Amino acid sequence: MATVNDVQGGQPAINAAPELPEENGKIVLKRQSRSGSVDTQARAEMIESPSSTNRGRGGQSGGRLNRGQQQQRGGGRGGNQDDPRNHPVLRRIRIVPASPSYFTATPRYTDDLLSLSALLRKYQLLPVLPTGEAPRVAWKTIDQYKAEVAEPVRAKSYKMLLELLKRLNYIHPSLIPAEVTQSLEKYKRLVQPHHNRPNPILVDRHGKAKAVGRRKSSAASVFVVEGEGKVLINGKPLSDYFGRLHDRETAVWALKVTQRLDKYNVWALAQGGGTTGQADAIALGLAKALLAHEPDLKPALRRARVITRDPRRVERKKPGKLKARKMPAWVKR
């Protein structure tokens, strides 16, 4: 065994490593007591492979593995090396939200707003229609949208979304991309009100046309057929059913302005309301049925204002007033 005082080539061998005694391929370590005599001997096995060295790392005594390490290596009870959950990559992976908007109060609304904004930036240079000529579209109401996304969307926020939809809807129909069309369909109502058209009034095989008219709380079904000018209301002649001259003239006003009083017979069934409401309801139904016989009379009937329903109704009485608007007399003292 070389010592510090040994001289090799005229220089002291300071860096020479001491040689350890071996017995049967095992290193013998001697520990001396304070008195200087050897009291114990510790024997260490020779390291045969690098795997045995790593076994003792991490504070494990005697090369024994804890339960977690045994399960990772598949050596524990019930351990399955083929279980994909034991893959080392899965132990380091973390759950990432599908969208950055997950951390906002309204993630789905935010995603919709960002997607529409991206579409507008992408196609903002496409030709657009003049103001007021965009296709009529009934967008979903805020209540319908909130029920769909299940988020507390404010009215101001939904208004921003509608502005983007209306701007995209102004792109020229012949140049609008399919991507934009699919995005707009998502926000349209299932039923478009302006696409609904009333069934046309036709003359049946008996030469009879039927139409319905309404006014306030009155309704009337009117049947018109070519004849000599007879008018019956609920089975009674016109003069017997309406006592007032104004109501009689109102009921047949469509025939009078078109000079057809002696060319058609009228049978009307009126119900509800008073005489004024029933007379106006009969006039509207008569005008619609007359158009089925002679469509060319529409301009004349429109000028006479008999083919448009009057939406006015009686205004309700308010608290503190005598009627709808009448106030009680004011007394100074």
Phi, psi of 148 (to 5 degrees): -75, -45
Q: What is the mean pLDDT of the chain?
A: 81
pLDDT in tens, 156-207: 999 999 999 999 999 999 999 999 999 999 999 988 887 778 888 999 999 9
Q: Are 6 and 19 in contact (CB under 8 A)?
A: no
Domain 208-303 grouped into CATH 3.30.230.10: yes
Residue 65 DSSP code = -
Contacts (Cβ under 8 Å, ≥6 apart) of 324: 314, 315, 316, 317, 318
Q: Where are the beta strands (DSSP E) in 59-106?
A: none
Angle at 180 between CA 179 and CA 185, to 5 degrees: 105
Pick the more confident residue, 109 or 54.
Answer: 109
Q: Which helix or strand (DSSP H or E) is residue 179 part of?
A: helix 178-185
The tokens describing 206, both together, are 């008996």
Residue 124: name the closest of 160, 163, 165, 171 by CA.
171
Cβ neighbourhood burial of 40 (10 Å; 0-12, 13-18, 19+): exposed
Contacts (Cβ under 8 Å, ≥6 apart) of 85: none
Residue spans of the domains in the chain: they are 102-194, 208-303
pLDDT in tens, 228-284: 999 999 999 999 999 999 999 999 999 999 999 999 999 999 999 999 999 999 999
How would residue 67 be classed by pLDDT, with cut points 50, 70 and 90?
Answer: low
Please give the pLDDT value at position 15: 45
Of the segments 23-32, 131-140, 312-321, which one has the largest average pLDDT value? 312-321
Pick the more confident residue, 94 or 34.
Answer: 94
- Rounded Cα distance between 300 and 298, Å, is 5
3-state secondary structure of 139: strand
The β-bridge partners of 222 are 211, 268
Residue 36 confidence (pLDDT) above 60:
no
> Torsion angle of alpha carbons 188, 193, 195, 200, nearest 10°?
170
Residue 94 confidence (pLDDT) above 90:
no
243-265 as b/e: b if 16+ CB within 10 A? eeeebbebbbbbbebbebeeebe
Pick the more confident residue, 305 or 36.
Answer: 305
Residue 52 confidence (pLDDT) above 60:
no
Q: Are 289 and 224 in contact (CB under 8 A)?
A: yes
pLDDT in tens, 186-197: 999 988 887 778
Q: Which helix or strand (DSSP H or E) is residue 107 part of?
A: helix 107-122
How would residue 34 be classed by pLDDT, with cut points 50, 70 and 90?
Answer: very low
